Structure 1
């Protein structure tokens, strides 16, 4: 594969070192997980799911090559992109489409995944980091692309969805992004309705909203204690506190979420 003559570093993520744009491609460090991730992305495109990068192989420097997704991430100061209810619902349908598309995926027998937090009794290959910072929206073409698949691996639909709800619905203690309780509950209902959860799944999701959020705090705490990067830096710079505060925020409103989803 020819090397592009000009490369532009891509920044903005928490784990984006070494990621560059070269023409219409993205080059990023490969690892033992890359063959499995490329098999996953190839499957998604083969079954018609076009909301993920397409893998293009490995370049002469050993980096994985993916198609570049133009647009912006609705994160930090762009969360207003997802404020309208129809756009929030669009994200939930996108996640449902992904989960349906991956349901028939058979991983390679030697697949080496690296999900951040392993899950018991997995039923799909989950993304594990479905969040505003991993969604690219190209408004001129109305193209929505989920990026950063390196952490994909065995998981469950509800584990993925609980994590996604925290970010996209904005179930957070951070006052800069927090909705009033009634609006937050309505947004959660919009999100879950669009994903099409049944009553049993809705009941299971409510406590999982807390469990999934707290799991990120515990993961960062444990990784920091072992000195593992980049997680130790994230812990030191307050990410663990943010996840703990969000878990407490969600837990205090368990009755509100239950009423919103089941009444």
Structure 2
């Protein structure tokens, strides 16, 4: 049985499509879907768990779209994705044991810093640069850290992956976006596996939203690949800024 009325479901599906579109380009889709789920009557933990259900579909579709276009080698990145899956699961498992309120206070500051980095740093485009971290160092440090946060809380994880790939791995903006979606999918899935045990997701609603997420992610990924950093950069700045504002508002 569907958990919400048909008119509410239509709103959630529309929100999921838009969230998938935005998330495939710049991240921040949870900023759209989690509040809408809460407005629809889901308790906060149920809203977060349901968001993981539908978010897996959107991130997965975006990752496949970028992979098919050659922007990320999904097979070569499989072991890194498994690291993200495990760290995301650990983060979700420890949600009740860590000082998440402290993290929520620091998160807006970090997101504003990310927005300023992409808005003000000259020369950010789709061309790779010299990496500060090698692939192995990046995989065993940045990836588990962001994936752990994704399972623990979630909002802004895509922006953190992006800043890592651009600032530390030396990736161009489009390549960073493609790799971000693969890891976002993995850490989302790891978190979902735990939330499925400790929470009560709206499974049918989440699955229907997931199909809409897939459609939105497909459109968003295609547009990002066609336009590149000229689209990704401004949308990432707006996404990170709006998410920071929303988190600051929630703290008041």
TM-score, scaled to structure 2: 0.29
Larger of the two Rg values belongs to structure: 1
Greater fraction helix: 2
Question: TM-score, length-normalised on structure 1?
Answer: 0.29
Higher relative contact order (CA 8 A, sep 6+): 2
* Higher strand proportion (structure 1 or 2): 1
